[in-house]
């Protein structure tokens, strides 16, 4: 029998080689280690054994230093906020109160003030009850004392308030909160479905494609005949800061000069700006660009009237497509080559929409938060709707229309302030399809001040409700499929334009603070915390670099619900401000490549001798008038911050509710209300547009 070669028992024995060694060192900075065998030094050692008293002291000092630094930073921010409140609210230095042109806006302010005064009175009453030991309001299961337990008139009034609150106020708030929670869940499901659709597009790499080279011609005798005739329109109104860069970018687009016409549609009522734009058009005209200047004497209909007037020209019938760019948009030279070919062999296509990109997205905290919203709008909402439904709202700029689609849909109408959404809905009802190009980006600006952003959002949320009233009969009687009608009415208009601002304002700005004073109607934790954070997380997915701003984004969106709710109400009931058009103020920011190109042109101009060309008398007069206008131009006025009273009133209401939540020991409610109140306070003091990189 062969001998066994199993050495496992022998190897597994705990064999000790050599004698144990003990190393002792007199230096107290080193620990004593006992080596028991050759492998014992490589065994894991407890973390606490290698530390001495000095190391622990240094670690504690470092942690204390960090904690003190954090507390000092918070104290500095708090002190600066108090100083701003003292300066702007008490002494009114360098501020002006934002006027309310709308009667409904004043009514909302009065209602908020009534809520604020009532909450302050209830808070004072319940603090007194808390100090006296009447803790009945700490639990939702109220114990109403009997008559024998009453301890005086004040106690009797407090008990009567508890009974009235439980029997009459709490049921109303509960019904309203449940209704808003249902709307909140429906809108969250819609947002989640859109995100899943975006993930599917990314996974399957779904996007509109161009087959082959659409401009390649085999006929050498007639080169370029496959390039269609394109009309480019640049509507503007008093755009002193951005007119030059937009005209320059459009004139440098790559397209045969005999197949393109650029219309500069100037509605400016400032003669100095008119002369500046005329001079810019004349400069590019001398360079051989086919560009013309148009100015209306009767400026009606705002942007829609401007575009309608330009489309009525006789020469427009010679063109097949029209590209539209607002005054702050700077298309790349290959924009037309990336968009127009999609119309080839696709006769049902009416619109090709490009995505916006922002040159000033990192200018301050306000621009960063806007970038989050707009990136989600383009990459998720419009891309998903374009890929699966072939319909979305036209953005008013950075798009190419088939002129036939505009004409068959009724052209530009002046009935609302959202003429872009109006023409998109009517074209959809006529059977035209849209595509969205997420890869084609056009540079533009976002508002850098809260005042400009607030006016822009008011127009963007009042116009759709006004349009919904006008388009509802046409949608119902149209010949499109039933599911398309349902998508237009319930998703496009009601859910995303009406329900969203309604529940955001009602749930988080009204009901939530009220539940602090009516604990019987307390909102569940997932409504206050979990679902809003999840929805904010989904909104930030298209811009991963914005994740550090998820909390300010959530709080700021709740703050903006006041403006959006007011705008929605004014548009739905056709109040005066729904017809108001305010041109969004621009700063004239340029991209980094534009600045490098400008510097290169300036260096070439300095190195090369100037060539004097002949000019007509009209051009000389134009230049002289331009110089006079520049010399007589007024000096820039110092910026005056605004005070927004509705936001300030809601700030104090939320802060009052946060103090009330402390009495009930509701930690999450306290922090949410506190941070939301501070956000309202910052916005109300017009601090949100300050330089925060």
> What residues are labeled active site?
267, 420
**What's the rounded Cα separation, in Å, for the pair 75 and 679?**
17
**φ, ψ at 66 (rounded to 5°):** -65, -40
In this structure, the number of other CB atoms found within 10 A of the CB of residue 420 comes to: 21
Cα 280 from Cα 292, distance rounded (Å): 11
Residues pairing with 233 in the sheet: 263, 324
Contact 169, 515 (CB under 8 A): no
Parallel, antiparallel, or unpaired: how do β-strands 260-266 and 230-236 relate?
Answer: parallel
3-class secondary structure, 589: coil
- Four-residue CA torsion sign, 284, 299, 463, 579: positive
Name beta bridge partners: 210.
Answer: none
CA 572 to the chain's CA centroid: 23
Output the six-digit token pair for 666.
């509701």
β-bridge mates for residue 22, sequence order: 34
* Helix (H) or strand (E) segment spanning residue 338: helix 335-339
- Burial of 365-391, coded b for 16+ CB within 10 Å and e otherwise, reads bbbbbbbbbbbbbbbbbbbbbbbebbb
Angle between helices 103-131 and 645-663 (to 10 degrees): 20
What tokens were used for 108?
């909302």
The tokens describing 64, both together, are 């204390």
Please report the sign of the dihedral spanned by the C-alpha atoms of residue 540, residue 541, residue 547, residue 550: positive
The Cα angle at residue 239 between residues 236 and 244, in degrees rounded to 5 = 95
Cα 219 to Cα 301: distance, rounded to the nearest angstrom: 46
Contact at 8 Å (CB) between 328 and 243? Answer: no
Q: Beta 321-324 vs 399-402: how paired, if at all?
A: antiparallel
Contact yes or no for 354/379 (Cβ under 8 A): no
Task: Name beta bridge partners: 534.
Answer: none
Rg (CA), the chain: 33
Annotate 150-160 with b (16+ C-beta within 10 A) or e (fewer).
eeeeeeeebbe
Residue 264, φ and ψ in degrees, nearest 5: -95, 105
Contact 649, 116 (CB under 8 A): yes
Q: Is 323 helix (H, G, I), strand (E, B) or coil?
A: strand
H-helix or E-strand spanning residue 23: strand 21-23
Report how far residue 164's alpha carbon sits from residue 167's, in angstroms, rounded to the nearest whole number: 5
Structure tokens at 145: 């004392």
């Amino acid at each position: 029998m062969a001998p066994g070669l199993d050495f496992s028992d022998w190897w597994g024995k705990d064999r000790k080689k050599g004698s144990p060694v003990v190393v002792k060192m007199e230096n107290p900075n080193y620990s004593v280690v006992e080596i028991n065998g050759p492998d014992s030094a490589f065994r894991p050692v407890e973390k606490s054994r290698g530390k001495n008293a000095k190391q622990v002291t240094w670690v504690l000092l470092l942690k204390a230093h960090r904690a003190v630094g954090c507390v000092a930073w918070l104290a500095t921010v708090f002190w600066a906020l108090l100083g701003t409140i003292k300066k702007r609210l008490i002494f009114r230095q360098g501020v002006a109160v934002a006027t309310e042109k709308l009667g409904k806006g004043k009514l909302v302010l009065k209602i908020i003030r009534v809520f604020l005064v009532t909450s302050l009175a209830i808070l004072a009453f319940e603090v007194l009850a808390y100090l006296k030991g009447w803790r009945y309001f700490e639990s939702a299961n109220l114990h109403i004392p009997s008559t024998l337990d009453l301890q005086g008139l004040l106690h009797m009034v407090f008990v009567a308030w508890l009974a009235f609150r439980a029997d009459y106020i709490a049921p109303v708030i509960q019904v309203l909160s449940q209704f808003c929670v249902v709307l909140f869940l429906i809108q969250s499901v819609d947002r989640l479905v859109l995100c899943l659709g975006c993930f599917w597009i990314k996974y399957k790499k779904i996007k509109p494609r161009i087959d082959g080279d659409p401009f390649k011609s085999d006929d050498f005798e007639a080169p370029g005949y496959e390039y269609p005739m394109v009309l480019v329109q640049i509507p503007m109104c008093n755009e002193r800061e951005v007119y030059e860069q937009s005209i320059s970018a459009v004139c440098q687009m790559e397209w045969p000069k005999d197949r393109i016409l650029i219309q500069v549609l100037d509605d400016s009522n400032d003669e100095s700006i008119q002369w500046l734009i005329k001079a810019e058009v004349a400069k590019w005209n001398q360079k051989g660009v086919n560009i013309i200047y148009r100015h209306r004497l009767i400026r009606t209909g705002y942007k829609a009237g401007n575009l309608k007037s330009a489309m009525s020209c006789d020469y427009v019938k010679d063109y097949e497509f029209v590209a539209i760019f607002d005054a702050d948009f700077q298309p790349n030279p290959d924009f037309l080559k990336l968009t127009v070919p999609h119309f080839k062999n696709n006769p049902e296509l009416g619109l090709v929409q490009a995505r916006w990109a922002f040159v000033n997205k990192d200018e301050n905290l306000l621009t960063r938060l806007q970038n989050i919203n707009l990136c989600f709008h383009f990459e998720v909402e419009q891309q998903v709707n374009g890929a699966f439904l072939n319909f979305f709202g036209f953005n008013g700029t950075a798009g190419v229309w088939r002129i036939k689609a505009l004409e068959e849909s009724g052209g530009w109408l002046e009935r609302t302030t959202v003429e872009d959404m109006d023409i998109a809905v009517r074209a959809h009802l006529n059977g035209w399809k849209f595509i969205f190009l997420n890869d084609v980006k056009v540079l533009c600006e976002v508002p850098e001040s809260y005042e400009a952003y607030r006016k822009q959002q008011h127009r963007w949320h009042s116009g759709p409700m006004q349009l919904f009233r006008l388009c509802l009969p046409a949608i119902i009687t149209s010949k499109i499929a039933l599911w398309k009608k349902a998508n237009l009415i319930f998703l496009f208009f009601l859910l995303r334009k009406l329900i969203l601002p309604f529940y955001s304002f009602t749930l988080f700005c009204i009901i939530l603070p009220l539940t602090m004073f009516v604990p019987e109607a307390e909102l569940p934790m997932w409504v206050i915390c979990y679902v809003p954070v999840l929805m904010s997380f989904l909104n930030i997915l298209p811009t991963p670099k914005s994740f550090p701003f998820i909390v300010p984004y959530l709080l700021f969106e709740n703050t903006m619900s006041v403006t959006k709710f007011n705008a929605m109400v004014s548009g739905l009931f056709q109040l005066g401000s729904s017809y108001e058009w305010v041109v969004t103020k621009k700063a004239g920011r340029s991209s980094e490549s534009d600045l490098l190109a400008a510097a290169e042109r300036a260096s070439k101009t300095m190195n090369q001798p100037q060539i004097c060309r002949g000019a007509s008398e009209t051009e000389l007069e134009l230049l002289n008038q331009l110089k006079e206008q520049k010399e007589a131009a007024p000096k820039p006025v110092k910026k005056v911050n605004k005070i927004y009273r509705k936001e300030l009133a809601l700030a104090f209401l939320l802060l009052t509710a946060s103090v009330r939540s402390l009495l009930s020991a509701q930690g999450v409610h306290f922090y949410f209300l506190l941070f939301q109140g501070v956000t309202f306070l910052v916005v109300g003091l017009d601090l949100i547009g300050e330089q925060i990189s």
